[in-house]
Amino acid sequence: MLRARVAAPPVEGAANQALLRLLATELDVPRRDVRLIAGASGRTKLVAVEGVEPDVLTERWPGLRI
């Protein structure tokens, strides 16, 4: 699990889009490679990231469940 906080309000998907942009920036991948799979209206999200190997993610964020 990775915890992230964004300043965008949870209105019309603004917070979800801010989260996806944040992850894309942090992982240095295009925004189109980061997708929200589940949790669009909840606090817990499931996100898919293409073009990044799992070991890169766990190096960046130790303890991350993949």
Asked whether residue 9 is assigned to any structural domain, the reply reads no
> Residue 32's pLDDT band (boundaries 50, 70, 90)?
very high
Asked whether residue 8 is assigned to any structural domain, the reply reads no
> Residue 50's pLDDT band (boundaries 50, 70, 90)?
very high
Asked whether residue 4 is assigned to any structural domain, the reply reads no
Asked whether residue 50 is assigned to any structural domain, the reply reads yes
Q: Report how many helices (DSSP H) and strands (DSSP E) the chain contains, helices first.
A: 2, 2
Instruction: Please give the tally of structural domains in the chain.
Output: 1
| pLDDT at residue 17 greater than cutoff 80 | yes
Q: Which residue range is the domain that position 47 belongs to?
A: 14-60
Asked whether residue 45 is assigned to any structural domain, the reply reads yes
Asked whether residue 1 is assigned to any structural domain, the reply reads no
pLDDT mean over 31-56: 93
In 3-state terms, what secondary structure has residue 31?
A: helix
In 3-state terms, what secondary structure has residue 5?
A: coil
Asked whether residue 46 is assigned to any structural domain, the reply reads yes
